[in-house]
């Protein structure tokens, strides 16, 4: 069992690591004779076959970093209602993979249906020249089936079987061991083409290529004439669903057109960051001063806990990573105020208990009796944050990106504030506060 002193040492080590991660990539230090630029390094370790890489840069959203906001409208008029949802999910998946070609750290792609119009919203932080992005994203997904000629130099031979010949793809279960498998159903013309291809490729691989990327290359086990096939293997339910989404992107091609293009200037982003940082510093400073003025040495300990809260929160933003937007910063600032709320409840309780108990006993009783109020208040806020974030994409709730950013940073801040308020502050008080 750790003593309070050992716990404080562990908290100190965690805080130092979090502080290093929270540092900007380069920071100029100019104190007296010292004038140098300190560089914060990322993790980049290669040992045998193990590669460990982690970038500690803060991921900024479109409103802070600047970039492009594109809205595409999908033409789903030729699809039935039951196929429309599948087609839009597949279309979103294809656009996400295309956006990744630009090497953007945190692109945002989301689907939206409004007044009968199906749209895909694409946000590309840091990208100001959108011509290439629009051309690439706006293409209809192309699925093709390719024969694989194996040998010393394997080669791919295109066939006339394409996504237009694939009626649909879906997940089902294997009849023998009930494992997830991916089923394919071809149109009448597609069935004939597929029959010819499988007849000459038994025992060989048949690759399925979407947007010049191989999504699957199963081995043909028999000559298939009925237009239905099953891809088996070591699928999990999730991996099988992902494969059907990719295949349906080519089977249910949905033309899209650009209906809105907006560029957010970097100057606006930099100005927003500067004002937000200033607001954060002013708010944090006000809380620190208030705690010291009202609660004296207890407030000073709470201030240390609040600083630990700040560096751990910022480090987690970089490690998860959390895409920071202006609403996200608002969620963080709100959680700063709530971070000291638990300490205030405990300290007020301590004032009542110290007259009837010894100093240390009163401190422990205060933490125990204030816990119920702290828990209920924070759980209520977490439930609200869950509804605002809508992680399950419930249709009766909104799916606004900025609101989700606010909810995520608020929920993360509450979780960390519980740790700093109950664990960090409590052990600091046990070690540093002694009875008069």
pLDDT tens by residue, 227-257: 899 998 888 888 888 888 778 776 666 778 8
| Consecutive H or E run containing 313 | helix 266-319
Percent of residues, the chain, with pLDDT higher than 90: 13
For the ranges 124-138, 188-202, 334-348, the lowest mean pLDDT is seen at: 124-138
* C-alpha to C-alpha distances, 108 to 41, 61, 140, nearest whole angstrom: 27, 9, 20
Band (pLDDT 50/70/90 cuts) for residue 197 is very high
Task: Tell me if 367 sits within 8 A of 426, measured CB to CB.
Answer: yes
Q: How far apart are CA 70 and CA 93, in angstroms?
A: 16
pLDDT of res. 105: 56
pLDDT of res. 270: 67
Band (pLDDT 50/70/90 cuts) for residue 192 is very high
Task: Tell me if 429 sits within 8 A of 298, measured CB to CB.
Answer: yes
For 218, phi then psi, to 5°, come to: -75, 160
Q: How far apart are CA 22 and CA 316, in angstroms?
A: 9
Q: Is the pLDDT of residue 26 over 70?
A: yes
Mean pLDDT computed over 382-394 = 84
For the full predicted model, state whether its pTM sits above 0.75. no
Percent of residues, the chain, with pLDDT higher than 70: 92
The structure tokens 């702290």 sit at 374
Band (pLDDT 50/70/90 cuts) for residue 9 is very high
Task: Tell me if 258 sits within 8 A of 139, measured CB to CB.
Answer: no
Alpha-carbon dihedral 262, 268, 269, 272, rounded to 10 degrees = -130
pLDDT of res. 367: 87
Q: How far apart are CA 370 and CA 382, in angstroms?
A: 18
Q: Is the pLDDT of residue 16 over 90?
A: yes
Q: Where are the alpha helices (DSSP H) in 168-265?
A: 188-199, 237-251
CA-nearest of 261, 263, 254, 258 to 72 is 258
> Is the four-CA dihedral 354, 356, 360, 364 of positive or negative sign?
negative
The residues pairing with 69 across neighbouring beta strands, listed in sequence order, are 123, 262
């Amino acid at each position: 069992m750790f003593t309070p002193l050992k716990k404080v040492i562990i908290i100190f080590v965690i805080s130092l690591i979090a502080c290093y991660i929270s540092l900007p990539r380069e920071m100029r230090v100019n104190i007296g004779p010292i004038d140098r630029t300190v560089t914060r390094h990322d993790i980049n370790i290669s040992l045998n076959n193990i590669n460990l890489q982690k970038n500690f840069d803060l991921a900024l959203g479109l409103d802070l970093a600047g970039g492009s906001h594109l809205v595409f409208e999908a033409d789903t008029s030729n699809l039935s209602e039951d196929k429309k949802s599948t087609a839009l999910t597949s279309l979103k998946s294809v656009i996400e993979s295309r956006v990744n070609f630009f090497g953007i750290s945190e692109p945002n792609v989301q689907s939206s249906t409004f007044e009968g119009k199906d749209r895909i919203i694409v946000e590309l932080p840091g990208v100001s020249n959108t011509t290439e992005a629009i051309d690439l994203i706006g293409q209809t997904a192309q699925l093709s089936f390719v024969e694989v000629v194996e040998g010393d130099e394997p080669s791919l031979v295109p066939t006339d079987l394409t996504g237009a010949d694939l009626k649909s793809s879906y997940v089902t279960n294997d009849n023998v061991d009930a494992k997830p498998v991916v089923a394919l159903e071809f149109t009448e013309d597609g069935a004939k083409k597929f029959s010819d291809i499988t007849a000459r490729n038994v025992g060989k691989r048949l690759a399925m290529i979407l947007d010049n990327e191989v999504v699957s290359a199963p081995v043909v086990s028999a000559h298939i004439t009925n237009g239905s096939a099953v891809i088996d293997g070591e699928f999990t339910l999730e991996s099988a669903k992902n494969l059907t989404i990719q295949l349906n992107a080519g089977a249910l091609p949905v033309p899209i057109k650009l209906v809105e293009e907006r560029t957010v200037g970097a100057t606006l982003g930099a100005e927003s960051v500067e004002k937000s940082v200033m607001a954060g510093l002013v708010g944090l400073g006000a809380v620190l001063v208030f705690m010291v003025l009202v609660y004296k040495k207890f407030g000073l300990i709470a201030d240390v806990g609040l600083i630990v809260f700040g560096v751990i929160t910022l480090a987690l933003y970089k490690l998860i990573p959390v895409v920071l937007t202006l609403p996200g910063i608002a969620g963080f600032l709100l959680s700063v105020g709530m971070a000291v709320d638990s300490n205030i409840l405990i300290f007020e309780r301590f004032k009542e208990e110290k007259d009837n108990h010894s100093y240390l006993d009163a401190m422990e009783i205060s933490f125990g009796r204030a816990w119920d109020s702290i828990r209920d208040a924070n759980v209520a806020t977490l439930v609200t944050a869950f509804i605002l974030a809508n992680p399950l994409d419930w249709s009766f709730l909104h799916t606004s990106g900025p609101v989700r950013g606010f909810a995520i940073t608020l929920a993360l801040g509450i979780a960390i504030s519980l740790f700093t308020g109950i664990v960090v502050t409590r052990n600091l008080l046990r070690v540093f506060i002694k009875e008069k």
